[in-house]
Homo-oligomer: A and B are copies of this chain.
């Protein structure tokens, strides 16, 4: 349970160029956020062991490996094996289906006490071309695999609302806040549990100041939006 001083924000370290910048960000933001998300560019450039080193700076946060896994079970497990000791959760795409893929990954993560987060659909406009249109099929995959969490786009809050209704007991994390255009707090109002923020914080001259500004907006928008909806 996050303390009273933390925002419902996961910071995406995807676009961070150097490990030194990542260290500095984790150090400064640690007490104020729910967790950190590590992207594939960072993990490829610096090796999966960087996750353990970053985590040791802020063990209280939730650490999420955003590998956007989308392969057969055997390959997803071999990929996760490189990082499983240093993260709490792993993100995979629901699109690849359960049989021979997510079923195997879920079983592997369960046995190791790690969480599975499934992308339900994405935040960019191209997600409307295929992903959004397959959402009825993806609901079946989610129901079968029973992930701990879902990723659903803050940029299209009606989809967050739909997923919240269909999967009431699943944690929802929403990217697309800030640089991609969604207003902080909107996804929370529509049922998300956490908002994922990247460049708006990590590329800021003053990351802690930006986090606090986004966190304040988040709470204000959430209050306003709840008033309007109830």
CB nearest neighbor in B for A77 = B41
Q: Which residue of B lies closest to A98 (CB)?
A: B126
Across the interface, do B130 and A141 meet the contact criterion of CB distance under 8 Å? yes
Copies in the complex: 2
Cβ A97 vs Cβ B128 within 8 A: yes
Measured between C-beta atoms, what is the minimum distance from A48 to chain B in Å? 5
Q: How would residues 78 to 121 of chain A score, 1 for a CB under 8 Å from any chain B CB and 0 otherwise?
A: 11011100000000011111111111000000000000000000
Number of interface residues of A (CB under 8 A): 52
A39 beta carbon closer than 8 Å to chain B: yes
Indicate whether A95 sits within 8 Å of B97 (C-beta atoms), given known contacts A133-B134, A138-B130.
Answer: no
Contact A100 B71 (CB under 8 A): no
Closest-CB distance, A152 to chain B (whole angstroms) = 15
- Determine whether the beta carbon of B79 is less than 8 Å from that of A41: yes
Contact of A137 with B130 at beta-carbon distance under 8 Å, contacts A14-B78, A44-B79, A75-B41 already known: yes
Measured between alpha carbons, how far is A155 from B128 in the docked complex, in Å? Answer: 29
Shortest distance from the beta carbon of A227 to any chain B beta carbon, whole Å? 33
A–B Cβ pairs within 8 angstroms, 10 of them: A41-B81, A45-B48, A72-B124, A95-B130, A95-B131, A96-B124, A96-B126, A99-B129, A129-B140, A130-B141
A binding-site residues for B, Cβ under 8 Å = 14-15, 39-41, 43-45, 47-48, 67-75, 78-79, 81-83, 93-103, 122-131, 133-134, 137-138, 140-141, 180
